[in-house]
Amino acid sequence: MQSKHSPTKWLTYFVLLVWAIISLLPLYWVFSTALQLPDYVESDPPKMIPMGIVEYFTHPENRSQIVHDTFSGFQQLFNSTNIWRWFFNSAYISIVVTAGILVLDTMAGYALAKKQFPGRKLFFWLIIATMMIPGQITLVPLFIMVQNLGLMNTHWALILPDLSMVFGVFLMRQYMLSLPNDLLESAKIDGASEWKTFWKIVVPLSKPALATLGIFTFMNVWNSFLWPIIVLNDADLYTLPVGLKTLQDQNLAIFKLLMSGAAVAAVPMIVVFMSFQRYFIKGLTLGGVKE
Amino acid sequence: MSSSQATQLPEQSQLDAKALPPALRRRPSLLREMWKQRAAYLFLLPKLILFTAFVLIPVIWAFVLAFQEYGVFGSEWVGFKNFTSVADSEAFRTALWNTLKYTVVTVPLQVILALVLATLIHPLGRRAQSFFRGAFYLPTVTSMVIIAMVWRWVYNYRYGLFNYMLGFLGIPAQDWLNQSNTALWALIIMSVLIPPGVGIIMYLAAMDAIPDQLYEAAKIDGASGLQRWRKITVPLLKPTTLYLTMLSLIGSFQVFTQILLMTGGGPGHATETLVTLIYKTAFRDLEFGLASAQAIVLFVITLIFGIAQYWLMYRKAEE
Amino acid sequence: MIYKKYTKVFAVLATAAMLSVTLAGCSKDSASSSKQETANWTGKITIWDGPRWEENGNKYAWIESQKKAFESSHPGVTVEIVQVPWADMNDKLGVSIAGKAWPDVAPVDISGNGVNAAFLKQKVLEPLDDYVTADDKKDFLPNALDAYSQDGKLYGLPGGMTVHGMLLNLDLFQERNVEPPKDGKWTWNEFVDDMKKLTYDKDGDGKIDVYGLSTYIKNGYYESWPFLYMDGGRPLSDDLTKFTFDSKEAEGAMKKLADLKNIPVAPKEMGSGDVGGTWKAFSAQKNVAVEPWATWAIQAAQKANMKNFMVAAYPSGSGKPVTIGGVGGWMMFHQDDAGKKKVVADLMKQLTSTEQQVVTAKNYSVFPSRKSAVDQNPFADNPQMQQAQKLTETAVMIPKQVNWKKIDEAIQSQLQLVLNGEKSPEDAMGEAKKTVDDLLTK
């Protein structure tokens, strides 16, 4: 529409860049503070870059000390907190739930999309209805239930309710409605069993929806906070967000340490995002995945 | 091929039905039909069991709990007492008022910001588009716990980035999170400055779907860029706007994590919101019945807002 | 081809899921407790503890060594430690009790939370009178035992006592030529005069950067409260039926404390800052000369290489000198099995033995609650702890009211507004009274 170098275009770029910087600044600040030399963490005015980078060149005689100080937040984090444990807990719970959700929701979505069985509509509307109800309503009953089942302070208390979320069923159903019926029927005529049809034809064809569902499930479980702080007591069982909260609650006010912890928790999601960006984007336009 | 599998073919089952006596032909018995479709139930079963146990029963239970007073060694029925306590409670009114303030400011700003940014991004080249999409979406995939921690640090009275930035504008330093007249605003500012990544991406997709001919035609009619945007883009994006507003509305009614981590609802009750109140009522005061009643009231309020907003936007659209 | 690759990933994920599910299933313990009432009960005891002092990077070393000792003296008994951060301890305990999933033993600090009274009301605490001999009872300091007693029954074993006192950075006192209070005692006016001298512009840029006093207001923390007590004000009447923080004595003291920021001898953050930031200002940045703390801070300051500091009393007003004390100890939660009850009591006795009280006193800066431990003089080489010990004579406890947690919140949230200068003490306490009166009649 406009010529390549029109002033409007430059203005657009300028506005967008400024806003993007503002948006990314807090995230940058996490890493910048985590890597800041301890003496500069609390300085007025704040230092915008980790001063180790500057001092590395201005004080070549102190290089090893400067490098050590730059990473001392992480060192303290790894030595004096359970961060690896929390990281491991978060990772394995997220993977288990994601894998489970993919299996369960694909199966259920397939049944709802491609099978004509009595009760099909009932189940579908039940799912739609519960998707509308805010999670806070089930907080207390779920808590009492988890207690009664003896699951309190175990990872089961996180995994089972997460596996029960219905959004994925809805997503998979919507996606599978578009799969051609002929293909499924010809498979049956060829003598493929129900399971084989599902596994060899439906699952491969649903790959884009599966990728989206997997990513969003992983992200939601990795970031989940409210429920884990309620059901986990033992510091060894904490997930990363809960562990970070305790770090903050311990009232140490050591921002370098806090931000190092935040950085450790942020990196995996950033990596996941960078590698699967197109699925994130696709997922959002596939029917508004994010909660 | 085993016969049981064959019967699952639709054609086959119709054939079966025809073989039945005429009375049963039109409405085959339910059990029979269910047996024929047993594979479907098997596919559904695992999820259904979990769903019933951890979603359906808890939802129903919540409505039961709201009429009970929960005790460690037994609960008792109290009728509508929990709901009348909610209505009488000053804490609930404060929390509701704070939540409304937060919602009324953040929701429109988030949606408008998403629309404006998407409008700016849309005409750019592919690379620039994907760069900005990524830049604006990245903060959204970061855990709110991390965002809250860093913003707490950003708002630090002495060493925080925020006061430093405001210093350039000549605005005196404030202890943002610890004064009751600024704390809620600090949270609002933060939620507006977290870029509306979801919104931008959805708007961009919706803009892609608008046919170019519409713009060409308007151009021929002499409409300016802004006019084309107002008369074509914005109206055609209405379904997206509605969806995003709804999403944002639900999110801001349930705002919790950043408040728990940044102010804990204080100072005083200046940043207490409905969900922090529910959380405290349930898991600090251990009044499970009352908390359930509060959660149900929250649900109803969200519902009313959602319906009102839907109605407003569509009535306007029909004018 | 892509499909094939995909199904592989799918299969791997599914296997991973099943594996971890099985693993998680194995790690979950089968809490079996024998129902027979034998003296030699065997099984598992769950104990909660928070991080204490650090040994080789492990802040749970003490409780772990206690676990080992107990398990070897009680074959067949295993002790499971649940590590709970102190900040979460009270809320987590409350939640677990509401969910009927309490631990067998947990540390319950009487000073801060008043949860013990709420636990009592819920009947989830076990009385311990049958397991503590009369001689043993005599060895505990009466006020420590009293803190865990209700209606003539003993519901906990005290492990140590704490008290709040003022920590004075003597380097700053010397720098400003201020004489520290003699015997650690000062009146309000002397205190304010000293604070004025200690508040100054250190680097000469025209801005004050060292302040006399700072502290904070936070639910369950009472560092600032002895100031409010100094003219005789108290939060509740002695019979716990009336809210009395709206008395002239209490509101006057609040005003005096809030006014310190206007003089100014206290930084803007006083009242609103967090615990860590306040502590750091005193111990690391050294830009506050005096801060009130519970006794744990003495240990922390010594470890932070602050050699030149002393412990003084809170300034005295028109009331008698007073500070707030606390008792830390262990409580046993509801047991069905009498045999287990005895074993759990044994564990509690081990944790609060004379020997262990001396160890905790030396490492964790709490005062022993046993006379026999006091006699061993654990603070012989610790002058600051000796100074703090003198304050215990003036210590009073936080009211033991069933709803104290909520009362505390109602008061503290208003106090914060007073210190912020956003509300007058009268308005704030009027507001608090509404909530508290309600809670007192419940």
Q: What ipTM was predicted for this assembly? A: 0.86
Write down the domain spans for chain B: 3-84, 85-318
- B82-93 pLDDT, tens digit each: 999 888 888 899
Mean predicted confidence (pLDDT) in B78-105: 92
CA distance C290 to chain A (A): 19
pLDDT for residue C118: 67
Q: Compute the Cα dihedral for B95, B96, B101, B105 and give only its sign.
A: positive
**List of chains touching B (3+ CB pairs within 8 A):** A, C
Q: Which of B70, B175, B181 sits opposite C269 (nearest CB)?
A: B175
pLDDT for residue C260: 94
Subunit contact A207:C96, Cβ cutoff 8 A = no
Which of A115-119, B32-36, C306-310, C410-414 comes out lowest in average pLDDT? Answer: B32-36
Closest CA to A222 of B198, B144, B252, C16: B144
What CATH code is carried by the domain that includes residue A207? 1.10.3720.10
pLDDT for residue A2: 46
CB contact at 8 A, C202 and C281: no
Fold of B85-318: MetI-like fold (1.10.3720)
Chain A residue closest in CA terms to C14:
A99
Subunit contact B135:A241, Cβ cutoff 8 A = no
Burial degree of C4 (CB within 10 A; 0-12, 13-18, 19+):
exposed
Instruction: Give the separation between CA A278 and CA B193, rounded to whole angstroms.
Output: 24
C279–A contact, CB cutoff 8 A: yes
Mean predicted confidence (pLDDT) in C222-240: 92
**A280 neighbourhood in chain B, CB within 8 Å:** 137, 141
Subunit contact B43:A115, Cβ cutoff 8 A = yes
A221–B contact, CB cutoff 8 A: no
Mean predicted confidence (pLDDT) in C355-379: 89
**C280 neighbourhood in chain A, CB within 8 Å:** 253
pLDDT for residue A1: 46
CA distance A123 to chain B (A): 9
Q: Are strands C157-169 and C323-332 parallel, antiparallel or unpaired?
A: antiparallel
Subunit contact A136:B159, Cβ cutoff 8 A = no
Half-sphere exposure in the Cβ direction for A223 (13 Å, CA) = 26
Subunit contact B134:A277, Cβ cutoff 8 A = yes
B43–C contact, CB cutoff 8 A: no
pLDDT for residue A252: 66
Confidence of residue C192 (pLDDT cuts 50, 70, 90): very high
Is the domain covering C43-162+328-381 a CATH 3.40.190.10 domain?
Answer: yes
CA distance B144 to chain C (A): 20
Distances, alpha carbon B298 to alpha carbons A162, B276, B303, C53, C410, in Å? 22, 12, 8, 44, 24
Subunit contact A199:C82, Cβ cutoff 8 A = no
Share of chain B above pLDDT 90, in %: 35
What phi, psi does A213 have (nearest 5°)?
-60, -45
Confidence of residue C347 (pLDDT cuts 50, 70, 90): very high
- A239-287 pLDDT, tens digit each: 999 999 888 877 667 889 999 999 999 998 899 888 888 887 777 776 5
Subunit contact A273:B141, Cβ cutoff 8 A = yes
Tokens of A190: 């060829």
CA distance B189 to chain C (A): 21
- Residue with more model confidence, C151 or C224: C224
**C101 neighbourhood in chain A, CB within 8 Å:** 147, 150, 152-153
Residue in A122, A140, A245 to test binding to B, most B beta-carbons within 10 Å: A140
pLDDT for residue B7: 39
- B1-30 pLDDT, tens digit each: 343 444 344 444 444 544 555 555 555 687
pLDDT for residue B284: 83
Write down the domain spans for chain C: 43-162+328-381, 164-325+398-441
Residue in A29, A40, A136 to test binding to B, most B beta-carbons within 10 Å: A136
C87–A contact, CB cutoff 8 A: yes
Residue in A42, A107, A200, A233 to test binding to C, most C beta-carbons within 10 Å: A233
Chain C residue closest in CA terms to A211:
C6
- Residue with more model confidence, C415 or C108: C415
| A32 has a pLDDT exceeding 80 | yes
Subunit contact B44:A108, Cβ cutoff 8 A = yes
Q: Compute the Cα dihedral for A30, C88, B183, B107 and give only its sign.
A: positive
In a domain, A30, yes or no: no
pLDDT for residue C153: 86
CA distance B56 to chain A (A): 8
pLDDT for residue C111: 55
| C33 has a pLDDT exceeding 70 | no
Chain B residue closest in CA terms to A141:
B58
Q: Which helix (H) or strand (E) holds C419?
A: helix C404-419
Mean predicted confidence (pLDDT) in B60-86: 86
pLDDT for residue A5: 63
Task: Work out the mean pLDDT of chain C and round it to a whole number.
Answer: 84
Subunit contact B34:A118, Cβ cutoff 8 A = yes
Domain membership of residue A158 as a residue range: 84-239+276-285
Radius of gyration of chain A (CA): 24
Quick check: helix, strand or coil at residue B319?
coil
CB contact at 8 A, B161 and A29: yes
Tokens of C70: 């107990």
| C159 has a pLDDT exceeding 70 | yes
A131–B contact, CB cutoff 8 A: no
**List of chains touching C (3+ CB pairs within 8 A):** A, B
| B242 has a pLDDT exceeding 90 | no
Please count the residue pairs, one from chain A and one from chain C, whose beta carbons lie less than 8 angstroms apart.
Answer: 96
CA distance A80 to chain C (A): 6
B70–C contact, CB cutoff 8 A: yes
C287: left (phi over 0), alpha (psi -120 to 50) or beta: alpha
pLDDT for residue A162: 93
- CATH code of the domain occupying C164-325+398-441: 3.40.190.10
- B168-215 pLDDT, tens digit each: 898 888 889 988 889 999 999 999 999 998 899 889 988 988 888 888
Q: Which of B70, B73, B268 sits opposite C416 (nearest CB)?
A: B268
pLDDT for residue B317: 55
| Residues 193 through 212 of chain C touching chain A, CB cutoff 8 Å | none
Residue in A85, A96, A254, A256 to test binding to C, most C beta-carbons within 10 Å: A96
Closest CA to A33 of A16, A45, A50: A50
Task: Work out the mean pLDDT of chain A and round it to a whole number.
Answer: 86
Instruction: Give the separation between CA A116 and CA B113, rounded to whole angstroms.
Output: 44
Mean predicted confidence (pLDDT) in A151-167: 92
Instruction: Give the separation between CA A23 and CA C166, rounded to whole angstroms.
Output: 44
Confidence of residue C79 (pLDDT cuts 50, 70, 90): very high
Mean predicted confidence (pLDDT) in A70-82: 88
Instruction: Give the separation between CA B217 and CA A59, rounded to whole angstroms.
Output: 66
Report chain A residues touching chain C, CB-CB < 8 A: 42, 79-80, 92, 95-96, 98-100, 102-103, 143-144, 146-148, 150, 152-156, 159, 199, 203-205, 207, 210, 230, 233-236, 246, 249-254
Radius of gyration of chain B (CA): 27
Subunit contact B71:C100, Cβ cutoff 8 A = no
B178–C contact, CB cutoff 8 A: yes
Please count the residue pairs, one from chain B and one from chain C, whose beta carbons lie less than 8 angstroms apart.
Answer: 54
Subunit contact A140:B292, Cβ cutoff 8 A = yes
In a domain, A42, yes or no: no
Radius of gyration of chain C (CA): 25
B268–C contact, CB cutoff 8 A: yes
Instruction: Give the separation between CA C191 and CA C256, rounded to whole angstroms.
Output: 12
pLDDT for residue C29: 38
Instruction: Give the separation between CA B60 and CA A255, rounded to whole angstroms.
Output: 44
Distances, alpha carbon C29 to alpha carbons A145, B163, C18, C43, C182, in Å? 18, 52, 19, 11, 58
CB-based contacts of C278, cutoff 8 Å, min separation 6: C214, C215, C216, C269, C288, C291
**A248 neighbourhood in chain B, CB within 8 Å:** 149, 152, 261
**B259 neighbourhood in chain A, CB within 8 Å:** none
Mean predicted confidence (pLDDT) in B291-300: 93
| C39 has a pLDDT exceeding 80 | no
